[in-house]
């Protein structure tokens, strides 16, 4: 698959070599398909798009891009322009809201005409593993345990009784299918947000159709959130990846951690799933954020909270170890990393 990167579980490879697609001023359907395919691992629930052509285009684009040596980089200076790729063409269309608005306009039309649900980012197997792993982690935490390896733990069969107390927020929910899966596993206080109105219309339509009318969906930009509520469980599947692909990705990622620290209740859990960062890279990013202290933006800035290192904002808890792995070029890895952090 074009643009696939290795994500070794424990001795992670650095992620500098992620290919991305050069940005252009106009975002055509082809551009969107190429950008998505060159970045992501996804499966679709019955899209009517011409898949063969799309994948062929994506492969060509990614091959050309890889051979040009033009890999993903993150700009370091923040700009308030939310819509324009930077003039060097670094970053990716997937970091722009206009990309997602256009993508969800298509998906919404597809849903209304054909009943299709759209993308399952990273595929159905990852979603299933992620949800049952998260459920087990929540049950363990509810019982006062801090598990280091969920695979070795015998989960209390009565544990489902703890799940209604876990208020859940899904950041960048897209079509909201992750929330359906969490509902099927016993979670009941469920909210999804996305900055794209089309995503929220699609998610609401699917939830009504598929028997999940109690899931709440709201238009909200994670980086400038209007939510004044805190949640016990915050889920992110592919959203920090997308945010990091904005031309100002470096700064936007720091804004992301600031927002999550406000949205997550003390003692709450963040479960983040990424194909663009390894487990070690996510842990490092959180360590860096803890060191800097919340709200510190600029490189070299002195931490606002001198206690930050001793009293970290987020603490690594666990990560999924059971995603399928494959070997390529002598390295073994999995395509996706899921890591859980506790909010102090």
Q: Any contact of residue 206 with ligand SAM (CB under 6 A)?
A: no
Q: Is 225 helix (H, G, I), strand (E, B) or coil?
A: coil
Decide if residue 182 touches ligand SAM (CB under 6 A).
no
Strand, coil or helix: 233: strand
Contacts of 166 (CB under 8 A, 6+ apart): 138, 142, 187, 189, 232, 233
CB of residue 239 to ligand SAM, shortest distance in Å: 4
Among 3, 19, 205, 238, binds ligand SAM (CB under 6 A): 238
Interface pick for ligand SAM out of 37, 140, 181, 194 (rule CB under 6 A):
194
338 binds ligand SAM (CB under 6 A): no
Among the residue ranges 18-26, 107-115, 234-242, 309-317, the one whose residues contact ligand SAM (CB under 6 A): 234-242
Does residue number 277 form part of the binding site for ligand SAM (CB under 6 A)?
no
> Among 38, 239, 278, 290, which residue interacts with ligand SAM (rule: CB under 6 A)?
239
Tell me whether residue 199 or residue 207 sits nearer to ligand SAM (CB atom).
199
Return d(Cα 344, Cα 341) in angstroms, integer: 9
222 near ligand SAM, rule: CB under 6 A: yes
**Residue 178 binding ligand SAM, by CB under 6 A:** yes
Strand 337-343 with 264-274, pairing: antiparallel
Instruction: In angstroms, give the least distance from the CB of 80 to ligand SAM.
Output: 14
How many CA atoms, within 13 angstroms, populate the side-chain half-sphere of residue 158? 1
Question: Which residues neighbour 16 within 8 Å (Cβ) at sequence distance 6 or greater?
Answer: 71
Burial class (CB in 10 A: 0-12, 13-18, 19+), 66: middle
Q: Which residues bind ligand SAM (CB under 6 A)?
A: 100, 119, 121, 172-174, 178, 194-196, 199, 221-223, 237-239, 242-243
């Amino acid at each position: 698959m074009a643009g696939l990167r290795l994500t070794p579980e424990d001795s992670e490879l650095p992620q500098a070599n992620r290919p991305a697609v050069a940005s252009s001023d106009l975002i055509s359907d082809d551009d969107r398909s190429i950008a998505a395919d060159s970045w992501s691992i996804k499966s679709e629930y019955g899209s009517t798009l011409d898949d063969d052509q799309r994948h062929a285009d994506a492969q060509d684009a990614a091959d050309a891009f890889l051979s040009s040596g033009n890999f993903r980089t993150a700009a370091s200076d923040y700009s308030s322009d939310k819509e324009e790729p930077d003039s060097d063409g670094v970053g990716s269309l997937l970091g722009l809201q206009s990309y997602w608005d256009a993508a969800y306009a298509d998906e919404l039309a597809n849903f209304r005409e054909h009943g299709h649900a759209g993308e399952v980012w990273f595929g159905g197997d990852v979603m299933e593993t992620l949800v049952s792993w998260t459920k087990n982690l929540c049950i363990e935490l509810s019982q006062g345990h801090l598990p280091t390896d969920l695979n070795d733990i015998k989960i209390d069969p009565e544990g489902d009784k703890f799940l209604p107390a876990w208020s859940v927020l899904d950041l960048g929910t897209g079509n909201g299918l992750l929330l359906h899966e969490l509902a099927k596993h016993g979670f009941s206080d469920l909210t999804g947000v996305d900055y794209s109105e089309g995503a929220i219309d699609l998610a609401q339509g699917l939830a009504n159709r598929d028997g999940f009318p109690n899931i709440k969906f709201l238009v909200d930009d994670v980086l400038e959130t209007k939510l004044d509520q805190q949640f016990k469980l915050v889920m992110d599947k592919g959203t920090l990846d997308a945010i990091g692909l904005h031309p100002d990705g470096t700064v936007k990622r720091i804004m992301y951690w600031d927002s999550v620290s406000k949205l997550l209740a003390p003692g709450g859990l963040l479960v983040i799933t990424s194909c663009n960062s390894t487990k070690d890279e996510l842990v490092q990013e959180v360590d860096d954020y803890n060191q800097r202290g919340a709200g510190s933006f600029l490189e070299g800035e002195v931490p606002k909270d001198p206690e930050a290192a001793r009293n970290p904002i987020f603490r690594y808890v666990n990560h999924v170890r059971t995603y399928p792995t494959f070997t390529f070029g002598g390295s073994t890895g999995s395509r996706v990393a899921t890591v859980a952090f506790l909010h102090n």
